[in-house]
Each structure stands twice: as C-alpha cells, then as structure tokens.
C-alpha cells in the first residue's frame, strides 16, 4: 500500500505515515518490520515481533495506566507532585495525564476528585474494576485476550502465563463436566475479570455481598431455584480454581459475581439439549420478545430464521445479554470487524434484532454484542443456504478404459463441496455448445476460450484443484456482480450525486446532505432521514474501510434509490474512516433486491484498488458510474 492509501485509512498525512514507519522499524532495529518499494509499503518478516515488542514505559498511555493503578490502590488518593517525581515527569505533564484519566471515566460511575495537591477516585468497587477492564481492552486487538496487556494494566504481580493456561483448561473441563458447552470467544474476557478480581482481592478490595434478587410474578419458583443451583455449581468451581491456581480466597460477593459472569458470558446449552430443556432456563418475557422480533426480521428481510431451535438458543443468549447490560459488563468479540465487512446482510439483520430488543434490554448494544447475534443469524442462514451453494459441472474426458470414472471420483473427492458433477462426456468431439453447466472440466483443448472452461489433467493434480476452485470463485462473483450491474441504472441518478464531500464533514452532516437530495426527488421524507440517523447511532454503517451505507430500518421509500458522495481525503465515520458514502433508500416493492444491492455494493468497495480508482476518477456522476460499471465488469 502506498503512503497516500495508508494516510486515507488512518486519517493523517502521507508524511505522518512515513514517520510511523520509521517508528515501527525502530522497534526491531536489525529486522524488517515495514518494507518499502516502488509499489509502496508492506509488512515485513518481523512485523509480528514489532507488535509484540515491549511498550515504552514512558509513553503517555503507559503513564496513564500507572497513574490509574496508583489512584485505585490508594483510598486516600495520590499527591500530584510526588507522583510526578515518581514517574520522572513535570507536574504539568502529570496534570495532562490526569486529564486523560478523566476522559476514561465517562460512563464508568467513577469521579476524579481534586483537593489541593491530592487527586483521588470515588466510586464503587465494581466501577473501579470496570475501569481496569476498559484499560485492558484499549490495548487489545479487536477484543482478543492479551495476557501481556493484562499484566501491564494490573502490574507484573498479577496473573501470569504459568497460572492462566492451567486455570483456563481446568475451567473448561469443569464446565464440560457440569454439562455446558464453552464459548471460547467469551472465555478470554472472563479470564480478564478473574485476573482483576484476584488482584483486587489480594489488595483487600473484595466486593460487598450482593442482595438477593427479587422474584417476579412471571418467574416460577422452580425456574428461580434451577438458576440459583446452576450459579452455585459454577461459583463453587471458580472458587476452587482460584484457590488452587492463584492462591486467592474469594468472599461471598466475589464468588457470586464470578459465577454469574461465567454463566452469562461463557456457557451455552450442549448441542444435544432439547428445546424444552433450554426453555426451562428462560424467563418468559425474554422468550416472547425474541420470538416476536425474529418473526419481524424474517418477514422484513425474507430470510429463513424463524425456527424453534434458533429462537430458543438466541433467547438464552439474549437473557445472558440482559444480565451483562444491567452491569454494563459487555463481552468483546474478536470477529466483529470481519463479520461486518464480509457478511453485511447478516450483520444488518442482527442490528434489526438488536433494535427490536432494546425495550427488554433497556439500552442499545455495542457492535461486539451485535456481532454475537450476527453469529447466531449466520449459523441459521448457513444451514438454510447450503443446498443451493454448489455449481454444476460437466467433465469432458475421452473414454479410455475406466479413466473417466477415476477422474470423476477424484473430482468428487477433492471438489465435492464446491461443485456438483452432473455429466461426463467421453467423446473426443463433444457438442461444446450443448453443455450448459456452470463449469466444464476438460482433459482436451476446447475450441474456444471461456471463463467457465478449465483445462485439467486426466489424473487430477493439486494445481488442477486450485484452478477449478479459482474458476468457481470467478463464476460466483461474476453472477453476483452481474445482478448488481443490472440494478445500477435503476437506482443511481445524477440528481442524487453530490460529488466531493468537504474534509472534516461529520457522518450526520453527510447523511443530511445526501438525504436532502432524495427528499427533493420525492423518494423519502424528512422522517426517513431522522430514522437513518437513528440507525447510524445503533451501529456504524461503515461496512468496509472505505464505504459507509447509511440507511433506515424499514423499507418505506417510494422507490429504491441511492445517493452518493465521495470523500477525498477520507472522513471519520464511526470508529473508522471512509471515502465513499452511499445512502440507500429501499422501497417495500424492492424487498428482494435489498440483499443483492446491499451485499454486492459492499463487496465492490471492499477491494482497495477498486475504491481508489473510483475515488480518484469519479468526480462527476457520469465518471463515477463509468468507473463503477468498469470495476463491476472486471
């Protein structure tokens, strides 16, 4: 990637990118962290080592973390001047660090108080632990568990690798013995909270004993008792492992807290459990809410997700999600970004479901939690679509003993999941024009070249397999993009093309500007624009590193239309940056086209070279449409 391309992604100047490259290479002085050449920069063989390199203890972030640890450890606060001497910085620099600490406290329930030279944190023990969790997550990559980040945040005396590995293994084994299926995506987050708990308990900061939850009229005594028994079993397991591996004795408050944490984040019913067993663990209001919103999603997006098994498992997930929402103890998901960019339709259905569940959850969800719902949706859709996923193929192999039979067997064995062989031609002069399958796999030369014809050897080789797979991928992509090309002329118009977006424009400013074009055409009304902004607040519509597709939940436009704006340089959108904004207004009559347009538009703009080509040349509507069609046609 060139410095200019990297600058668009990061939101800085190319000169800054060159400075960053120099700093990265300095992390491994004798290695190749970032290499440069005529085509730009690329990650070198030592890029991984640079990521793992020790963080500078004097960096602002590290000082802030040390300062937070000091504030949390001292109930009567810290002296600002003494802390400055300890950190080897000026009092003015430490005042700046205190400002960064204040910025971290938003939504935590903590307050930074200042009396003369002393600074102290005020808030509950749970709020203080939540702050430590936030610091660790700030250092980790996309929600993945990073033991080194935990030790940097909590101090070198916290949980180490020699305890973490055995603890996690014993926890997974213990939960399996209790009949639970362990969610590996959530267990790292639980281990983080166990590490925080162990560190706080070791410093005399145990949790108070929580009050017993009240039983509601809708909650049967038997169900309440079953949930209490399950939590008691898990709490006892965690308590025993903390004593064995960490030499920490948990009090009643911490014991209950970690038990509830494990149940709400890590475990799910085993694969063989019946719906009746899952229902016995569900609160009736949760099941009813999930059943209703899943029904609406299935009708809105025309997808096959309204199944009893799907509803039950999603409802159990939502019930645990409600527990996390009450404590604002969110679960991170390392697949969020990839799910959002690779499966935008799946993610959009999850956003719709999340929006529908706001009433029962009480608050909107962050993207990581929406991604977990998207994984449930994806699992259901994958089962529904597998039957139609294969391409058909004909093998052309002139007959010689059983050679054609051996070749067909090899193709079925190596490519059976990707293609379905529906015919075998054994003539040396087959009627090529009469073969109408998606692919033709031939051991002889065809009279004409075609994307769907693949030359293979009579005895299938690994290179043959790779060529067939590549051809199948090209055929599938060509079909998808052909559907998009057919829609371009219908949905894009010159009146809805705003050209260049000025640098520094916000997402709301761009949505209102694009929306105004669609309102002027009579496609949507002002209410649709407001609902588009509401949808944006639920979850950023930046589905790739270059494209945002703002839209409203609900297909209420008079006709389907797309308004487009180009940003060069890139602009901030959510937590990322984009260069193309395509505001889409869908109508009820085009419900079936929603998936085609939505997913294929995201696919086109997921390829960086295509994006740069469209951005650099698409200054007018005609030029934009020409470049977009050229990219689609390949």
pLDDT tens-digit series, residues 258-285: 888 888 776 665 555 555 556 667 788 8
Confidence (pLDDT) at 468: 93
**For 466-492, what is the mean pLDDT?**
81
329: pLDDT confidence band, cut at 50, 70 and 90?
low
56: pLDDT confidence band, cut at 50, 70 and 90?
low
CATH code of 275-387, in short, is 1.10.1790.10
332: pLDDT confidence band, cut at 50, 70 and 90?
confident
Mean pLDDT over all residues of the chain?
Answer: 83
552: pLDDT confidence band, cut at 50, 70 and 90?
very high
Residue 24 pLDDT greater than 60, yes or no: yes
% of the chain with per-residue pLDDT over 70 = 88
Confidence (pLDDT) at 387: 46
Confidence (pLDDT) at 161: 65
**For 496-522, what is the mean pLDDT?**
93
b/e code 59-90 from CB counts within 10 Å (16+ = b): eeebbbbbbbbbbbeeeebbebeebbeebebe
Residues 59, 53: Cα–Cα separation, whole Å: 14
Residues 395, 408: Cα–Cα separation, whole Å: 7
% of the chain with per-residue pLDDT over 90 = 25
pLDDT tens-digit series, residues 65-115: 788 888 888 888 889 899 888 888 888 888 888 988 888 887 778 889 888
Q: Among 208-222, 416-430, 560-574, 595-609, which stretch is predicted with the lowest mean pLDDT? A: 208-222
User: Shortest CA distance to 594 belongs to which of 634, 633, 557?
Assistant: 557
Confidence (pLDDT) at 218: 47
**For 500-508, what is the mean pLDDT?**
91
Residues 414, 408: Cα–Cα separation, whole Å: 10
User: Which CATH homologous superfamily contains domain 481-633?
Assistant: Mannitol-specific EII; Chain A (3.40.930.10)
Q: Please state the pTM of the whole predicted model.
A: 0.73
Q: Is 24 helix (H, G, I), strand (E, B) or coil?
A: helix
**For 295-320, what is the mean pLDDT?**
87
Q: Among 66-75, 117-126, 378-387, 541-550, which stretch is predicted with the lowest mean pLDDT? A: 378-387
User: Shortest CA distance to 101 belongs to which of 58, 158, 61, 155?
Assistant: 61
User: Shortest CA distance to 602 belongs to which of 550, 524, 554?
Assistant: 550
Residue 458 pLDDT greater than 70, yes or no: yes
Confidence (pLDDT) at 277: 59
Of residues 62 and 318, more confidence is placed in 318
Residues 634, 629: Cα–Cα separation, whole Å: 9
User: DSSP labels for 140-183?
Assistant: SSTT---HHHHHHHH-TTS--HHHHHHHHHHHHHHHHHTTEEE-
Topology of domain 54-122, CATH: Arc Repressor Mutant, subunit A (1.10.10)
CB 445 within 8 A of CB 417: no
Confidence (pLDDT) at 66: 82
Q: Is 236 helix (H, G, I), strand (E, B) or coil?
A: helix
Q: How many CB atoms lie within 10 A of CB 212?
A: 7
Confidence (pLDDT) at 352: 94
**For 422-434, what is the mean pLDDT?**
91
Domain 54-122 shares a fold with domain 390-460: no
Query: What does residue 494 show for φ and ψ, rounded to 5 degrees?
Result: -65, -35
User: DSSP labels for 517-561?
Assistant: HHHHTTSS-HHHHHHHHHHHHHS--B-SSSEE----SS--BSS-E
**At the top level of CATH, which class does the domain 390-460 belong to?**
alpha beta
- Residue boundaries of the structural domains of the chain: 3-52, 54-122, 148-269, 275-387, 390-460, 481-633
213: pLDDT confidence band, cut at 50, 70 and 90?
low
pLDDT tens-digit series, residues 555-604: 889 998 999 999 988 899 988 899 999 999 988 888 777 777 788 788 88
Query: What does residue 106 show for φ and ψ, rounded to 5 degrees?
Result: -60, 125
pLDDT tens-digit series, residues 144-191: 556 666 776 676 666 666 777 788 889 888 888 887 777 777 777 788
Q: What is the largest CA-CA distance in the chain?
A: 96
């Amino acid at each position: 990637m060139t410095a200019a391309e990297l600058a668009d992604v990061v939101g800085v100047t190319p000169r800054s990118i060159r400075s960053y490259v120099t700093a990265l290479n300095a992390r491994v002085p004798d290695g190749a962290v970032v290499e440069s050449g005529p085509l730009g920069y690329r990650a070198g063989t030592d890029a991984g080592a640079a990521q793992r390199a020790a963080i500078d203890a004097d960096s602002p972030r590290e000082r802030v973390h040390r300062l937070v640890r000091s504030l949390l450890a001292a109930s009567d606060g810290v002296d600002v001047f003494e802390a400055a001497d300890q950190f080897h910085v000026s009092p003015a620099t430490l005042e700046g660090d205190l400002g960064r600490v204040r910025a971290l406290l938003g939504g935590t329930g903590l307050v930074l108080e200042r009396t003369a030279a002393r600074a102290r944190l005020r808030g509950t023990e749970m709020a203080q632990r939540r702050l430590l969790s936030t610091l660790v997550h700030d250092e980790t990559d996309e929600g993945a568990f990073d033991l080194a980040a935990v030790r940097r945040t909590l101090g070198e005396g916290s949980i180490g690798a020699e305890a973490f590995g055995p603890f996690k293994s014993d926890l997974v084994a213990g939960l399996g013995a209790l009949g639970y299926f362990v969610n590996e995506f959530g267990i790292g987050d639980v281990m983080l909270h166990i590490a925080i708990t162990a560190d706080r308990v070791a410093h005399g900061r145990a949790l108070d004993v929580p009050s017993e939850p009240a039983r509601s009229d809708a909650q049967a005594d038997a169900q309440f008792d079953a949930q209490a028994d399950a939590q008691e079993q898990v709490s006892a397991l965690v308590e025993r492992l903390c004593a064995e591996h960490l030499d920490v004795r948990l009090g009643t408050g911490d014991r209950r807290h970690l038990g509830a944490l494990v149940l709400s984040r890590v475990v799910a019913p085993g694969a063989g459990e019946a719906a009746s067993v899952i229902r016995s663990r569900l609160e009736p209001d949760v099941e009813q809410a999930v059943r209703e919103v899943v029904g609406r999603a299935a009708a809105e997006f025309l997808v096959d997700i309204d199944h009893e098994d799907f509803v039950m498992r999603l409802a159990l997930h939502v019930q645990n999600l409600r527990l996390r929402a009450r404590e604002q103890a969110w679960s991170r998901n390392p697949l969020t970004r990839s799910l959002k960019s690779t499966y935008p339709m799946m993610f959009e259905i999850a956003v719709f479901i999340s929006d529908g569940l706001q009433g029962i959850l009480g608050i909107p969800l962050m993207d990581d939690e929406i991604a977990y719902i998207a994984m449930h949706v994806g699992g259901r859709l994958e089962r529904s679509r597998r039957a139609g996923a294969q391409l058909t193929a004909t093998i052309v192999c002139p007959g010689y003993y059983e050679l054609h039979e051996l070749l067909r067997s090899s193709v079925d064995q190596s490519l059976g999941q990707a293609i379905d062989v529906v015919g075998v031609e054994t003539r040396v002069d087959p009627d090529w024009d009469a073969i109408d399958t998606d692919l033709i796999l031939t051991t002889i030369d065809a009279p004409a070249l075609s994307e769907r014809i693949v030359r293979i050897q009579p005895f299938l080789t690994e290179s043959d397999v790779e060529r067939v797979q590549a051809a199948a991928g090209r055929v599938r992509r060509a079909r998808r993009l052909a559907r998009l090309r057919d829609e371009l002329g219908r949905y894009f118009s010159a009146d809805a093309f705003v050209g260049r977006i000025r640098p520094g424009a916000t997402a709301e400013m761009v949505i209102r500007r694009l929306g105004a074009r669609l309102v002027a055409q009579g496609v949507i009304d002002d209410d649709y624009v407001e609902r588009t902004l509401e949808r944006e607040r639920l979850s950023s519509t930046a589905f790739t590193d270059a494209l945002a597709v703002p839209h409203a939940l609900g297909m209420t436009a008079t006709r389907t239309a797309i308004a487009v704006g180009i940003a060069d340089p890139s602009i901030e959108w959510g937590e990322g940056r984009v260069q193309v904004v395509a505001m889409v207004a869908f109508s009820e009559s085009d419900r079936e086209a929603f998936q085609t347009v939505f997913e294929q538009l995201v696919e086109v703009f997921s390829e960086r070279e295509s994006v740069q080509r469209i951005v650099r040349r698409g200054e007018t509507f005609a030029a934009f449409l020409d470049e977009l069609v050229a990219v689609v046609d390949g």
